[in-house]
Amino acid sequence: MRIANLQGRGAFVFGNDGAERAAEVAAVSGGRFGPDVAQIYAKWDEFKHWATTLTEAGMQAHSFQLDRTLLGAPSPAPRQVFAFGLNYRAHADESGFEPPEHLPPVFTKYISSFSGPDTTVVLPAGGNVDWEVELVVIIGRELHRVEPGAVWDAVAGLTVGQDISERVSQLRPPAPQFGLGKSFPGFSPQGPWLVTPDELANPDDLELGCSIDGEDVQKGRTSDLIFPVPQLISGLSHTVTLYPGDVVFTGTPAGVGVGREPQRFLQPGESLSSWIEGIGTLHQKFVAAK
Ligand code: ZN
């Protein structure tokens, strides 16, 4: 099942690549779920069970052509947002750190930086703006001290995320801080929709990557995560309580601009495409600050 946020309203997505159709969850369910997408996560287990009784024909009756310009982040107003660093060995290497033995470093991206999948992003003046394609997990159940084996069943779904990062403000002395440098407007595009784990042949092994104007800059597989999704969410839940709709950026593979020799950052006029196998693609265009 694929669920999109269409201007704040939850919608099923179905049909083929580039010709997707959508049907509002509230319409298909006769008002039982939705219309707000957040209301669907709040009752995720009940919703997921009900959705197993649906047929594509049942959705077709309420369907319309999907307009990607109306898409927002699949979970646009989570109670909590977590983002992990250094969760791929080759990226830890290029960042000059030892790979983590315990839970990787975690920070937040403030939700004012959230956007849908297709956007124009303003490059802050004087900044060095970098790319980080990431698998994003959306939580489907309240979790505390969950074991790894129980995690996938408690995940609502997966989506594509870009952890866009301004390195000057992130790394400025006296101590690096991640939240602000990664939370300029539009710095957390996500989408194009949520895909439930059962749709994927192996949700622990997905190819992901991104390209600038068609040139591949990152390519990896989520099977190379040092802490795969079950261990990551379990580890996080041993400290905090996770809530339905919470958003977790799981870390980026190698190939970011700050780790290159010479370093490279996004320039006005450049376009970034970020994708994950079986989920979809994000499209960001970058412009100079006025
Ligand atoms: Zn990141």
Between the CA of 252 and the centroid of ligand 1 the distance, in Å, is: 5
Between the CA of 8 and the centroid of ligand 1 the distance, in Å, is: 25
Angle at 212 between CA 1 and CA 91, to 5 degrees: 80
Between the CA of 47 and the centroid of ligand 1 the distance, in Å, is: 31
- pLDDT for position 94: 87
pLDDT range class, residue 249, cuts 50, 70, 90: very high
State the residue for tokens 């450049």: 270
Each residue of 180-204: pLDDT tens digit? Answer: 999 999 999 999 999 999 999 999 9
Between the CA of 116 and the centroid of ligand 1 the distance, in Å, is: 17
Please identify every residue whose CB atom is under 5 Å from ligand 1, which is an ion.
132, 163, 252
Between the CA of 272 and the centroid of ligand 1 the distance, in Å, is: 16
- pLDDT for position 57: 85
Each residue of 150-165: pLDDT tens digit? Answer: 999 999 999 999 999 9
pLDDT range class, residue 14, cuts 50, 70, 90: very high
- pLDDT for position 16: 87
0.85 exceeded by pTM: yes
Say yes or no to pLDDT of 44 above 90: yes
Cis peptide bond prior to 253, omega within 30° of 0: no
User: In this structure, are strands 188-195 and 2-6 parallel, antiparallel, or unpaired?
Assistant: antiparallel
Between the CA of 44 and the centroid of ligand 1 the distance, in Å, is: 27
- pLDDT for position 119: 98
Say yes or no to pLDDT of 99 above 90: no
Structural domains of the chain in order of their starting residue, each with its CATH number: 2-71 (no CATH), 73-288 (3.90.850.10)
Between the CA of 6 and the centroid of ligand 1 the distance, in Å, is: 26
pLDDT range class, residue 169, cuts 50, 70, 90: very high
- pLDDT for position 100: 83
Between the CA of 135 and the centroid of ligand 1 the distance, in Å, is: 10
